[in-house]
Chains A and B, each alone.
Chain A
Amino acid sequence: MKSILTNTILILLVRVFLGGLFIVASLDKIVDPAAFAASILNYKIVGPTLAMVIATILPSLELLCGLSLILGLYPRTSALFITFMLVGFTILITSALLRGLDISCGCFTQDPNVSKIGYIKILENVGMIMLGVLLLFVQNYGITLTQFFPQQKNAPSDKI
């Protein structure tokens, strides 16, 4: 386990994979927030106004966290957000499945006829959550954007 956490190439690949997924997932939602709000409404948990608030902010947060994770700007905080989001999405999908809702995920595309929720989607999310948790325990994130900027004196290190 320790060798995985210290393998900077592997960690970089995980960062690019997870960050890339979140960037791709955000694009369709950013382009059409109303369709994303409709997808949120289908889960029958929040009302139209809150759905629209979520549809306005969440895609931008996904995009920023994805970019930040890949660029290594705030890698640990981004990984934490991404993990929280994935846990939240997984709870929502599980709850929808348990209530017998046959709805599309709204995860990567807002086309209602593709990407229906199911247990495969939950497994995918669990896999991504594991990658997110892995990134939380990393000591050295390898290549990061912050390496190219002069560090402030007494600035807290990214290492725990």
Chain B
Amino acid sequence: MKTHRQSIHEALLLIAAATILGFAYTFVTKQGFFSEKKPAFSAATANLEMISLEKAKELYESQSALFIDARHDFEYKIGHIHGAINIALKEIDTHRVWLENIPKEKMLIVYCDGAECNSSIELALKLMELKFTNVKVFFGGWQEWKANNLPIDKE
């Protein structure tokens, strides 16, 4: 009985210490809940529009959107959606000047390798932070586009 009580005591202690440590660290480093970007993160995630292959194809054919490939450049070079530009998630800072020349209301469709992969969503959130107002994620990504024999480019 004493052992169980001690285990519960230890478990509560670990949870309490983790909670204090987690919130204290994020408070000191101004991250997470204490980040100034947090409201944008939550709101942007909630507002992010995911589009299907059919919708992506329709927008591609209408030439009304700019496709952005969020994968690494070596994957982009192997093959990408025709006309798409490459902005690897970790390299967005090197594209900031170029992005400033794009009208903020321009429709941007971000994709990565497959269905709902992270980098397309994260890049889309970063683009929304840069005040782009019409950002969508094509969640089927490169794999679905290629599997349906839609136009591609190779370098």
Contact = CB atoms under 8 A, between A and B. Distances in A.
B7 A37 contact: no
Contacts, number: 122
Interface in B112-133: 112-119, 121-122, 125
A39 interface: yes
A68 B38 CA distance: 31
A124 interface: no
Contacts of B118: 38-39, 42, 103-104, 106, 112
Nearest to A110: B118
Interface in A32-63: 32-35, 37-39, 41-42, 44, 47-49, 52-53, 55-61, 63
Contact of B11 (A37, A57, A77, A101): A77
Contacts of A49: 42
A34 B114 CA distance: 22
A112 B21 contact: no
Contacts of B37: 34
> Chain A contact residues: over half helix, strand or loop, or mixed?
helix
Interface string B44-78: 01100000000000000000000000011000000
Contacts of A52: 32-33, 38, 41-42
A42 B45 CA distance: 10
A71 interface: no
A157 B118 CA distance: 46
A158 to B, nearest CB: 8
Contacts of B99: none
A89 interface: no
Given A48-B42, A56-B22, A112-B112, A37 B32 contact: yes
- What are the 10 A-B residue pairs with the smallest beta carbon separation, nearest first? A112-B118, A102-B114, A61-B18, A112-B119, A77-B10, A60-B22, A48-B42, A60-B18, A33-B32, A156-B2
